[in-house]
Amino acid sequence: MSRLKLLTFLVCIFFASFAVANEETLSQLYDLSNLSITESSTEEHLAEINRVALQDPSDQRVMALSNILKAHYYLTQEDFNKAREFLIKAKPLVDLIQSDKLTNEYLFANMFVLRSSSEIDAAIEIGETLYKKVMESWPKHKLSHLVLEQAYLKSFKYKYDESLDLLKLALDYSYESNDPFQVAETYNLFGIIYSELNDESSANEYYKKAVDIVELHPGLSRNTYLYTNLADSYRVLKDFDDASFFLDKSEKLAKEDEDVAGLAFSYQMRSRLLVDQKDYANALNYLKQAQEISDKIGEKLFNYEIHSELAYLYLMMDQLDKAEEHLDIAAANDSKQNDSDKFYMEGIRSSILYEKGLYKEAYDKLEESYENYRTQFNDDLVRVSNLSREQLDQAQLNFDNKLLAKENELTAKNMKESERFNLLLWILIGLLLLSAIILIVYIYRYRQLAIRNRHLAYTDNLTRLPNRRHVFLQIEEYHKKSKHSSFQYSVIIFDIDHFKGINDRFGHHIGDKVIKATKDICESTLSASDVVGRIGGEEFLILLPKTNETEAYRVADKIREQFENYDFGNLAEGLKVTASFGVAEVRTSDQNVDVLINRADRLMYEAKNTGRNRVMARSTI
């Protein structure tokens, strides 16, 4: 009996020591999961994962987590196919083990893989759920990475306000963690978002900030795409020399680091630069090299961009069959899953149909593309189809020439059949007139469509006030004028106090009415030369020409009083609304409008922080 007890005791000790060893291995792997991107993107990191995993190769938790960490590593290399393979291996074990901590790591990696395969909605849902679960437990740099990806995903759905809010949060996390890589990544994504909003000057400034941080910390890994984004920003700004300089630098770094994804991206941007310079043959050569690498990477977004740009290039080179082929491939890899992408794709398809002489189909496709774009995204509608009036006029001229040639041929062939020829001529003239009428109708409708597009691109959908883009263009004009003369102007930025609480308590329909009432309050107070625009959800900007800070302060305070006296009770019983204001006057030292806007913005937040329902200006501090 005593021997049996001894044997049982020894067995218990064996399994207990085995369990302790497994827990130690698991703890080491979780420590590896919390390393920064700079540390986890090295080959040494992958080797360490394998070394630790081999300590307990039979433990299912160790196997699952090590496969997830390997997937993370390949995500840093932008090798989405390999990352997907390791997650597939981990998935059955994750489901079996049912550990929240392990599941969180799996979801984190899977979010990036889903984005690579165009499952944007699923990736967003995972990210939002995951953040709520880990916001108190994960290290700040890892939270920054998670929030940054969410901001990127939101941009695919054109939710730019949400993206910018998430970017501010990501920037806070990255500064708190003292992680320069995440700071650079955040500035880079700020640039991407502003570029998509067609504010390329702001985008360029953020790209330069990202590059400056990288150059201050040369140990940061995989930074070639930052130079590539900066280069493409210079291309959009028509600074081709700087664009070429930074593309040379990004290609050199990508080759030195054997960064195939970075090299493909650099080739793609080089192709865009060459297209702008009308060098289509060399542009095609670079884009084909990017395509070869893209096929290996396995990211649908990149494939979509490459093939849609190949379609455009082949269209420019009059190779319509190849253009259609690549357009179909791009459609199969459409990453954003959004009607706005159909606008771009169908615009190219419309041009292909036009080049084939299928004018009616070309117009129908153009109109369809407009409907898709208008329905999905009103605030960023800045592009129109290539089917221009000049092209339509040229088509009519070609038709006239063909008709005249036919008439001469028939007249020369047989004068005796003049009656028949005259009849045929009148029929053809009738067809020409009918075609001309149809073309005129198409041209008119096309121009109306373009006018509508331009109006929508600069107008807030709810209030019909100028939107952010419109207001900032006006400020840029005033700022240039102030730099070359004594022209003076001021800005007021104000925000409705506790607006989220209004929405939560009274409903979004009442919130919308408050926004509209804000428009009425401003317009009843401002002069005809003043400009008021809605620049955010509950944020407004007023531009006051020929106005100093003191006068602007009085205007802001008058509007503040109007809020206090306005009968919001008519909208909802018990509803009271106030607003907080920041006032700033342009200074000669303001290098750009961002400095002025930031000053007014800070003053507005100071008004909020000191009790709300007040006006803050430099003179009041």
For residue range 527-546, list pLDDT tens digits in order.
999 999 999 889 999 999 99
Alpha-carbon dihedral sign for residues 408, 414, 418, 421: negative
Give yes or no for a contact between 558 and 549, defined as CB atoms under 8 angstroms apart.
no
Residues 487, 443 share a domain = no
Residues 475, 611 share a domain = yes
Domain endpoint, select from 73, 107, 141: 107
Helix (H) or strand (E) holding 85: helix 80-97
Q: Which of 1-5, 383-387, 556-560 is modeled with the greatest confidence?
A: 556-560
What residues contact residue 570 under an 8 Å CB cut-off, 6+ apart?
none
**What number is the average pLDDT over the span 486-509?**
93
**What number is the average pLDDT over the span 354-373?**
69
Residues 445, 483 share a domain = no
Residues 582, 485 share a domain = yes
Residues 616, 483 share a domain = yes
Domain endpoint, select from 426, 457, 488: 457
Q: Is residue 472 part of a domain?
A: yes
Say whether pLDDT at 571 is over 50.
yes
Q: Is residue 378 part of a domain?
A: no
**What number is the average pLDDT over the span 577-595?**
93
Q: What is the per-residue pLDDT for 486? A: 85
Residues 504, 423 share a domain = no
Q: Is residue 262 part of a domain?
A: no
Say whether pLDDT at 517 is over 90.
yes
Say whether pLDDT at 70 is over 70.
yes
Q: What is the per-residue pLDDT for 21? A: 47
Rounded mean pLDDT of the chain? Answer: 82
- 613 vs 386 pLDDT, higher one: 613
Q: What is the per-residue pLDDT for 431? A: 84
Q: Which domain holds residue 447?
A: 391-457
For residue range 316-336, list pLDDT tens digits in order.
888 888 888 887 887 777 654
Binned at pLDDT 50, 70 and 90, residue 179 comes out as confident
- The conformation of residue 35, written as its DSSP 8-state character, comes to S
Q: Is residue 243 part of a domain?
A: no
Binned at pLDDT 50, 70 and 90, residue 256 comes out as confident
Q: Is residue 145 part of a domain?
A: no
Distances in Å between the Cα of 234 and the Cα atoms of 200, 208, 246, 306, 365 are: 9, 11, 9, 20, 32
**What number is the average pLDDT over the span 353-370?**
71
Q: What is the per-residue pLDDT for 395? A: 37
Residues 481, 448 share a domain = no
Integer Cα distance of 51 and 192 in angstroms: 38
Q: Is residue 534 part of a domain?
A: yes
Give yes or no for a contact between 221 and 254, defined as CB atoms under 8 angstroms apart.
no
Residues 523, 398 share a domain = no
**What number is the average pLDDT over the span 134-147?**
93
The number of distinct structural domains making up the chain is 3
Say whether pLDDT at 140 is over 60.
yes
Q: Is residue 403 part of a domain?
A: yes
Residues 498, 440 share a domain = no
Q: What is the per-residue pLDDT for 153? A: 92
Residues 613, 592 share a domain = yes
CATH number at residue 543: 3.30.70.270
Q: What is the per-residue pLDDT for 449? A: 64
Say whether pLDDT at 64 is over 50.
yes
Integer Cα distance of 476 and 479 in angstroms: 5
Binned at pLDDT 50, 70 and 90, residue 450 comes out as low
Q: Which of 381-390, 423-432, 437-446 is modeled with the greatest confidence?
A: 423-432
In the chain, the percentage of residues whose pLDDT exceeds 90 is: 39
**What number is the average pLDDT over the span 222-233?**
84
Give yes or no for a contact between 532 and 555, defined as CB atoms under 8 angstroms apart.
no
Residues 580, 443 share a domain = no
Q: Is residue 155 part of a domain?
A: no
Residues 490, 594 share a domain = yes
